[in-house]
Amino acid sequence: MEDKRINQAWSALRIVFGVVPIVAGLDKFFDLLTRWDQYLSPLATRLLPFGPGTFLRVVGVVEIVVGVLVLTRWTRVGAYLASAWLVLIALNLLSTGHFLDIVARDLALAVGAFALGRLEEARVESAVRLAPAAAHA
């Protein structure tokens, strides 16, 4: 028997980690929410083989792809990618010496994305265990 509480938690996390990266990714092309370049570490900017604007558009595409993965049948993969991506964002921000509040928030979000990945695994395993029982009923 499915637990509605687990499904509700999974659904809430899936929507958040699907929609928010898509919105943030799209905004890398429009800068309506913020000026994203202010969050780039000077170290990262020096290492880039192209300008910050191009880099941020690449970041936007990656975020959109991650959001789409989370919202499709590849939720687990997207969730783990989102978790790793958020840790990388936090490390970039940490290297600026600024935005430490956002570092803490992004690390907390990374844990939430990881939890979504684990919930997805548990749901899949539960469905596999329940399938043989349902076949014999």
Residue spans per domain, the chain = 4-136
Q: What is the band of 1 on the pLDDT scale with cuts at 50, 70, 90?
A: low
Res 63: pLDDT:
98
Q: What is the band of 137 on the pLDDT scale with cuts at 50, 70, 90?
A: low
Q: Can you tell me the mean pLDDT for 84-110?
A: 97
Q: Which of 82, 84, 102 is nearest to 41 (CA)?
A: 102
**pLDDT, tens digit (0-9, with 9 covering 90-100), for 17-67:** 999 999 999 999 999 999 999 999 999 899 999 999 999 999 999 999 999
Whole-model pTM: value is 0.88
When computed from its CA atoms, the radius of gyration of the chain, rounded to whole angstroms, is 18
Integer Cα distance of 121 and 115 in angstroms: 10
